[in-house]
Amino acid sequence: MVPPPSFTAQLLNLFAAGLLLISFAMLSQRRTRSLILLFGLQGAILVASTTLVAYSAGLRHLYFSAGLTLVLKVCLLPWILLRLVDRLEAQWDSEPLINIPTTMLIGVGLVIFAFGLAQPISALATTITRNTLGIALAIILLAFVMMITRRKAVTQVMGFLAMENGLFFAATSATYGMPMVVELGIALDVLVGVFILGIFFFQIREQFESLDLQHLENLKEE
């Protein structure tokens, strides 16, 4: 029998599983408001796992990225998004393109695919978190699915942000995070992106009186 992994590794696996669980919860959530809260929770778990990796590997710069995540993805972005949703009155998402059980089935398939994909990479990695690379990839793919199957602009942005979470987690598990400059750049990009997309939401609603992006697919006849 294999000896059980160290307690830190177990805890990291648990956090990774929690992130995956939340990804699935987001995939099956119809209410935009709950979706945002779930996103905040995902950020919080990400902070916990990053801090744990920083502590166990003794890396100072990872504490900074954990703090950055805490400020940006747990506090600031959910707050901005909640206010946006309130002002846009977009609490409910319309029915997704594919029904939810089917989406979940696709999700399970993607998890298997992601694990298969990550196997050779994690065999080469030497970090304590190498097992969780598959989960990180799965989170990214699930966020993709969310962006594809949802119709409303707000939920698509949520998918985009969840994907960023997945990428961050992948970076932490494969190579103990990215250089500080890159991370700062990404954080700023995400923040600015959300601001710009928030402005877009208002413009889209002004034009079509709805946030349903299917309206954008029609050609104008003039």
Partner 1 sequence: MTAAPLVRQAAEVVLAMSLAPLFIGWIAQCRAWLQNRSAPPLLQPWRTLRKLFWKDATLAEHASPLFRLTPYVLFGTMVLAAAIIPTVATNLPFAWVADAIALVGLFATARVFISLAAMDIGTAFGTLGARREMMVGFLAEPALLMVFFNAFLISGSTALPSVVERLAAPPFIIYPSLAFAGVAFVMVLLAENARLPIDNPATHLELTMIHEAMVLEYSARHLALVEWASALKLFNYACLGFALFVPWGLASRDSGPGAVLVAVVALLLKLGAAGAVLALVETVSAKLRIFRAPEFLAMAFLLAVLGLLVHLLLGA
Q: Where does this chain touch partner 1 (CB under 8 A) — which range of 126-134, 182-190, 196-204, 211-219?
A: 126-134
Maximum distance among all Cα pairs of the chain, rounded to whole angstroms: 72
- Please tell me the chain's helix, strand, coil percentages from 3-state DSSP, rounded to the nearest 5: 80, 0, 20
Q: Is 54 exposed, middle or buried (0-12, 13-18, 19+ CB in 10 A)?
A: buried
Q: Which of residues 130-149 bind partner 1 (CB under 8 A)?
A: 131-132, 134-135
Under rule CB under 8 A, residue 28 binds partner 1:
yes
Under rule CB under 8 A, residue 113 binds partner 1:
no
**Angle of CA points 163, 172, 3, to nearest 5°:** 120
What is the distance, to the nearest Å, from the Cα of residue 140 to the centroid of all Cα atoms in its chain? 7
Under rule CB under 8 A, residue 48 binds partner 1:
no
Under rule CB under 8 A, residue 100 binds partner 1:
yes
SS3 at position 91: coil
Under rule CB under 8 A, residue 29 binds partner 1:
no
Residue from 111, 140, 157, 171 in contact with partner 1 (CB under 8 A): 111
Q: Where does this chain touch partner 1 (CB under 8 A) — which range of 1-9, 140-148, 179-187, 192-200?
A: 1-9
Residue from 10, 91, 203, 207 in contact with partner 1 (CB under 8 A): 10
Q: Where does this chain touch partner 1 (CB under 8 A) — which range of 11-19, 48-56, 78-86, 186-194?
A: 11-19
Under rule CB under 8 A, residue 34 binds partner 1:
no
Tokens of 117: 């994909």
Residue from 14, 188, 199, 216 in contact with partner 1 (CB under 8 A): 14
Under rule CB under 8 A, residue 120 binds partner 1:
no
Q: How many residues bind partner 1 (CB under 8 A)?
A: 30
Name the one residue in this structure whose structure tokens are 């779930």: 38
Name the one residue in this structure whose structure tokens are 């669980």: 21
Q: Which residues partner with 212 through β-bridges?
A: 152
Q: Where does this chain touch partner 1 (CB under 8 A) — which range of 5-13, 48-56, 67-75, 161-169?
A: 5-13
**DSSP letter, residue 97:** S
Q: In the 3-class helix/strand/coil scheme, how is 169-203 assigned residue by residue?
A: HHHHHHHCCCCHHHHHHHHHHHHHHHHHHHHHHHH
Under rule CB under 8 A, residue 38 binds partner 1:
no
**Taking the CB of residue 116, how many other CB atoms lie within 10 A of it?**
11
Least distance between partner 1 and beta carbon 105 (Å): 7
Query: Which residues contribute to the site for partner 1 (CB under 8 A)?
Result: 2, 4-5, 7, 9-11, 13-14, 16-18, 20-21, 24, 28, 99-101, 104-105, 107-108, 111-112, 115, 131-132, 134-135
